Structure 1
Amino acid sequence: MSPYRQTPPPATAPKAQRGSKESSSVEVSSGDSQSSLSPGEVDQDIMKRAAARKLIERYFYQLVDGCGDSNCDNQYCASSGVVRNLTPDEAAAQAIQLYSKEARLCEVSPQKVPRINAISSQDSTAIESSPSGSSIANSTLSSECGPSGSDSTPSSQKNLDSSSITDLIILEKILPNISGPSDNNSSRTKPPTILTEESLAELCSTWESSPKLLVRAIGEVFSQPECLSRCFPAKRLQEHENASPVDNAEEKESIRAKEKDPDKDEDLVADPPFDLESCRRAFDHLKKVPSNVYSSALMTALTTLCDNIIVIRGKLDNIVNCFLIAFEVPNMGYGEFLETVLPSLCEAADHLSFEDQGKLVRKWATHCKDNLRNTLESLQQLITIKVMSTNYAREFCVQDDNKVTLATKFMKIVYYANLLAGVMEPNTLREEEISLPQQLDSLEEALDQISHFGSSKMAKQAQLDDPLGLVLNVNDLDSRRPFIPFEEFYNETLSDIIEMDHDFSCYRSRKFSFMKHSFILVPATKTLGLYFDNRIRMYSERHSSLMNALIGSAPPKPYLRLKVRRDHLIADTLIGLELVAMERVLDFKKQLVVEFEEEQGVDEGGVSKEFFQLIVEEIFNPDYGMFTYQSETNMTWFNPTSFETVAQFTLIGIVLGLAIYNNIILAVNFPMVVYRKLMGKKGSFEDLVDWNPVLFNGLKNLLEYTEDDVEDVYMQTFRICYQDVFGNNIFHELKENGDQIYVTQNNKQEFVDLYADFLLNKSVECQFKAFRRGFVMVMDESPLALLFRPEEVEQLVCGSKNFDFMELELSTEYDGGYTPESQIIKDFWSIVHNLSMKNKKKLLQFTTGSDRVPVGGLSRLKLIIARNGPNSDRLPTAHTCFNVLLLPEYETKEKLNDRLLKAINYAKGFGML
Structure 2
Amino acid sequence: MSSSDFTPNSDEASRNNLEASSSNLLDNEKIIFDDKDGVMKRAAAKKLIERYFYQLTDGCGNPHCDNQYCASSGVMKPLSPDEAAAQAIHLFSRDVRLCERHPNKIARKQGALLNEKTNGGSNDVCFSTASIPANDIVISQGNMAGCKNDMKYNSAPVPTFLTEQSLYDIIDLCEANDSYSPLIRTLGEIFSSIENLSKSFAQDLSSPTESCSDFGSTEDVKGLKKEQVRSLEGEKDKDEDCCAESSRNNITPVDIPAVRRAFTALFKLKSSIFENALVNALVTLAGNLQMELPTRKEMDNQDDIVNVLVIVFEIPALGSGDFLETALPAICRAAQRLTVEVQAKLARTWSGAARTSIKNILENLQQLITLRVIMTPFQRDFFVQDENVITSATKLMKILYYANMLAGVLESPELRCPNILDTIEGSQSKPKSLPPSDPLADELGVHVLDCRIPYLPYSEFYNELLSDTVEMDRDFANYKSDSGKFSFMNYPFILTPATKTLGLYFDNRIRMYSERRISFMQAFTGMPSQPFLKLKVRRDHIIDDALVELEMISMDNPKDLKKQLVVEFEGEQGIDEGGVSKEFFQLVIEEIFNPDYAMFAVQAESQTVWFNPTSFESDAQFTLIGIVLGLAIYNNVILAVNFPMVLYRKVMGRQGSFEDLQDWNPVLYNSLKQMLEYNQPDFDEVFMQTFRISYQDVFGSTIDYDLKENGFEIHVTQENKYEFVDLYADFLLNKSVEKQFHAFYKGFQMVVDESPLELLFRPEEIELLICGSKNFDFDELENSTEYDGGYTNDSQIIKDFWSVVHSLSLEDKRRLLQFATGSDRVPIGGLSKLKMVIAKNGPDSDRLPTAHTCFNVLLLPEYSSKEKLKDRLVKAIHYSKGFGML
Q: TM-score, normalised by structure 1?
A: 0.75
Partner of 2:411: 425
Q: Take 1:284 and 1:531, find their aligned partners in 2: how far apart are those partners?
A: 49
CA-to-partner distance for each residue in 1:327-374, whole Å, 9 max, x for gaps? 112322221111111111111211110110011001110111110000
Inter-CA distance 898–239: structure 2 relative to 1 (3 Å threshold): closer
Partner of 1:89: none
How many angstroms does 1:720 deviate by?
0.9
Inter-CA distance 271–446: structure 2 relative to 1 (3 Å threshold): closer
The alignment covers a number of residue pairs equal to: 724
**Aligned equivalent of 2:511, options 515, 537, 545:** 537
Q: Are 1:799 and 1:854, in contact at CA under 8 Å, matched by a contact in 2?
A: yes
Partner of 1:151: none
How many angstroms does 1:470 deviate by?
2.2
Partner of 1:674: 647
Q: Are 1:392 and 1:398, in contact at CA under 8 Å, matched by a contact in 2?
A: yes
Query: Looking at CA atoms only, which structure, 1 or 2, has the larger radius of gyration?
Result: 1
Aligned AA (2:419): E
Partner of 1:72: none
Partner of 2:728: 755
Q: Are 1:120 and 1:129, in contact at CA under 8 Å, matched by a contact in 2?
A: no
**Aligned equivalent of 1:117, options 113, 122, 125:** 113
**Aligned equivalent of 2:124, options 116, 123, 126:** 126
**Aligned equivalent of 2:498, options 511, 520, 524:** 524
Q: Are 1:672 and 1:687, in contact at CA under 8 Å, matched by a contact in 2?
A: yes
**Aligned equivalent of 2:428, options 425, 449, 452:** 449
Q: Take 1:486 and 1:783, find their aligned partners in 2: how far apart are those partners?
A: 19
CA-to-partner distance for each residue in 1:638-688, whole Å, 9 max, x for gaps? 000111111111111000000000000001000111111111111111111
Partner of 2:228: none
Q: Take 2:682 and 2:208, find their aligned partners in 1: how far apart are those partners?
A: 51
Partner of 1:491: 463
Stretch deviating more after TM superposition (883-892 or 587-596): 883-892
Q: Are 2:421 and 2:427, in contact at CA under 8 Å, matched by a contact in 1?
A: no
Aligned AA (2:435): Q
How many angstroms does 1:235 deviate by?
2.1
Q: How does 1:493-572 map to 2 (within 5 A)?
A: 493-509=465-481, 510-552=484-526, 554-572=527-545
How many angstroms does 1:197 deviate by?
2.2
**Aligned equivalent of 1:653, options 621, 626, 638:** 626
Q: Take 1:687 and 1:490, find their aligned partners in 2: how far apart are those partners?
A: 25
How many angstroms does 1:286 deviate by?
2.3
Q: Take 2:567 and 2:785, find their aligned partners in 1: how far apart are those partners?
A: 28
CA-to-partner distance for each residue in 1:35-74, whole Å, 9 max, x for gaps? xxxxxxxxxxxxxxxxxxxxxxxxxxxxxx9xxxxxxxxx
Partner of 1:26: none
How many angstroms does 1:301 deviate by?
1.5
How many angstroms does 1:784 deviate by?
0.9
Partner of 1:33: none
Q: Are 1:486 and 1:519, in contact at CA under 8 Å, matched by a contact in 2?
A: yes
How many angstroms does 1:124 deviate by?
6.7
Gaps of 5+ in 1: 1-64, 66-113, 143-160, 176-192, 241-253, 260-266, 438-444
**Aligned equivalent of 2:867, options 894, 907, 913:** 894
Q: How does 1:249-328 map to 2 (within 5 A)?
A: 273-313=253-293, 314=296, 315=299, 317-318=302-303, 319-328=305-314
Aligned AA (1:775): F
Three-state SS of the structure 2 residue aligned to 1:623 is coil
Q: Are 2:476 and 2:506, in contact at CA under 8 Å, matched by a contact in 1?
A: yes
How many angstroms does 1:706 deviate by?
2.1
Q: Are 2:252 and 2:307, in contact at CA under 8 Å, matched by a contact in 1?
A: no
CA-to-partner distance for each residue in 1:577-600, whole Å, 9 max, x for gaps? 111112221111110001111111
Aligned AA (1:350): Q
Q: Are 1:803 and 1:858, in contact at CA under 8 Å, matched by a contact in 2?
A: yes
**Aligned equivalent of 2:170, options 183, 192, 203:** 203
How many angstroms does 1:698 deviate by?
0.8
Q: Are 1:868 and 1:889, in contact at CA under 8 Å, matched by a contact in 2?
A: yes
Q: Are 1:207 and 1:289, in contact at CA under 8 Å, matched by a contact in 2?
A: no
**Aligned equivalent of 1:229, options 194, 198, 223:** 198
Inter-CA distance 739–436: structure 2 relative to 1 (3 Å threshold): closer
How many angstroms does 1:293 deviate by?
2.6
Q: Are 2:163 and 2:201, in contact at CA under 8 Å, matched by a contact in 1?
A: yes
CA-to-partner distance for each residue in 1:130-155, whole Å, 9 max, x for gaps? 8xxx944212899xxxxxxxxxxxxx
Q: How does 1:569-588 map to 2 (within 5 A)?
A: 569-588=542-561
Partner of 1:7: none
Partner of 2:132: 137
Aligned AA (2:455): F
Inter-CA distance 904–690: structure 2 relative to 1 (3 Å threshold): same
1:390 and 2:394 equivalent?
A: no
How many angstroms does 1:432 deviate by?
3.5
Partner of 1:663: 636
Stretch deviating more after TM superposition (685-694 or 226-235): 226-235
Three-state SS of the structure 2 residue aligned to 1:394 is coil
Inter-CA distance 786–140: structure 2 relative to 1 (3 Å threshold): closer
CA-to-partner distance for each residue in 1:679-726, whole Å, 9 max, x for gaps? 111111111111111111111111111212211111111111111121
Percent identity, aligned pairs only, is 58
**Aligned equivalent of 1:746, options 697, 705, 719:** 719
Q: Take 2:255 and 2:356, find their aligned partners in 1: how far apart are those partners?
A: 16
Q: Take 2:844 and 2:492, find their aligned partners in 1: how far apart are those partners?
A: 50
Q: Take 2:546 and 2:582, find their aligned partners in 1: how far apart are those partners?
A: 14
Q: Are 1:271 and 1:317, in contact at CA under 8 Å, matched by a contact in 2?
A: no
Aligned AA (1:688): L
Partner of 1:13: none
Inter-CA distance 659–722: structure 2 relative to 1 (3 Å threshold): same
Q: Are 1:570 and 1:618, in contact at CA under 8 Å, matched by a contact in 2?
A: yes
Q: Take 1:790 and 1:404, find their aligned partners in 2: how far apart are those partners?
A: 27
Partner of 2:402: 416
Inter-CA distance 303–594: structure 2 relative to 1 (3 Å threshold): same
Q: Take 1:449 and 1:824, find their aligned partners in 2: how far apart are those partners?
A: 59
**Aligned equivalent of 1:470, options 426, 435, 442:** 442
Gaps of 5+ in 2: 1-11, 13-109, 138-146, 210-235, 242-246
Stretch deviating more after TM superposition (309-318 or 405-414): 309-318
**Aligned equivalent of 1:349, options 330, 335, 344:** 335
1:358 and 2:344 equivalent?
A: yes
Aligned AA (1:518): P
CA-to-partner distance for each residue in 1:233-274, whole Å, 9 max, x for gaps? 22245899xxxxxxxxxxxxx99xx99xxxxxxx99x99833
Q: Take 2:151 and 2:390, find their aligned partners in 1: how far apart are those partners?
A: 44
Three-state SS of the structure 2 residue aligned to 1:629 is strand
Q: Take 1:666 and 1:738, find their aligned partners in 2: how far apart are those partners?
A: 41
Q: Are 2:820 and 2:858, in contact at CA under 8 Å, matched by a contact in 1?
A: yes
Q: Are 1:119 and 1:127, in contact at CA under 8 Å, matched by a contact in 2?
A: no
How many angstroms does 1:390 deviate by?
2.1
Q: Take 1:141 and 1:618, find their aligned partners in 2: how far apart are those partners?
A: 79
Partner of 1:156: none
Aligned AA (1:273): P
How many angstroms does 1:633 deviate by?
1.8
1:855 and 2:850 equivalent?
A: no
Q: Are 1:171 and 1:217, in contact at CA under 8 Å, matched by a contact in 2?
A: no
CA RMSD of aligned residues (A): 2.9
Three-state SS of the structure 2 residue aligned to 1:206 is helix
CA-to-partner distance for each residue in 1:757-789, whole Å, 9 max, x for gaps? 111111111111111111111001111111111
Q: Are 2:125 and 2:152, in contact at CA under 8 Å, matched by a contact in 1?
A: no
**Aligned equivalent of 2:452, options 464, 477, 480:** 480
Inter-CA distance 168–683: structure 2 relative to 1 (3 Å threshold): farther
